Structure 1
Amino acid sequence: MSNELAVNAYFDGKVKSIALENAEGVSTVGVMQIGEYEFGTSQREYMTVVSGSLKVKLPGESEWQAFGKNQTFIVEANQSFAVQVAEVTAYHCRYE
């Protein structure tokens, strides 16, 4: 288990996260500025909105779904998903 905190920035710094590893596994906690982003996965991801809200287009779906505080969505490994952020939003992402 690593005690190092890795800070990541994406989309010209509009999305930032800090990665951590503990007894629960590997996670990131981060913040997204207003905008629209597309992410790819290498592992299954459980993404929970901590503060704010996201509109998400999950893989294989044609409709956007809204997720608010304390709501979680799951994206399988090797998929991509799009998010629309209308207000600055914080999230927690757990990887399996």
Structure 2
Amino acid sequence: MITVNEYFDGAVKSLAFENNGKSTVGVIDSGEYEFGTSTHETMLVVAGAMDVLLPGESQWNTFSAGQHFEVPANTYFKVKAVAQVAYLCRYK
């Protein structure tokens, strides 16, 4: 089954699906957002680029199409996008 998710008044939208575990594919509109995790996440940037502030870090890092980052369970991370960004997120 495909589940539609919408966050931040529609600025972040994703489709959740099961394929060897839970995944979501979505788009982040330009802006700054904070996300919480309940499981370990691996996020792959599919198109565009975003700046990410990972848990416990003080410096933002830029991730572009083809790059990924990991976020531990039960933490928060911040994302800044200057243009729309497409992503694939896999949950463990």
- TM-score, normalised with respect to structure 1: 0.95
Give the aligned partner of residue 57 of structure 2: 61
- What's the CA shift for 1:18? 0.2
Q: Distance in 1 between matches of 2:69 and 2:37?
A: 13
| RMSD, matched Cα | 0.4
Moved over 3 A (4+): none
Tell me what 2:14 maps to. Answer: 17
Question: How many angstroms does 1:61 deviate by?
Answer: 0.3
Aligned pair 1:78/2:74, yes or no? Answer: yes
* 1:52 to partner: Cα distance: 0.3
Q: Which has the larger radius of gyration?
A: 1
The match for 2:90 is 94
What are the ranges of 5 or more consecutive residues in structure 2 without an aligned counterpart? none
Shift of 1:76: 0.4
Provide the secondary structure at the position in 2 that maps to 1:12.
Answer: helix
Instruction: Give TM-score, length-normalised by structure 2.
Output: 0.99
Aligned counterpart, 1:27: 23
1:51 aligns with: 47
Count of aligned pairs between the two proteins: 92
Percent identical residues: 55
The answer for the alignment partner of 1:40 in structure 2 is 36
- Cα deviation per residue 1:47-73 (whole Å; 9 max; x = unaligned)? 000000010000000000000001000
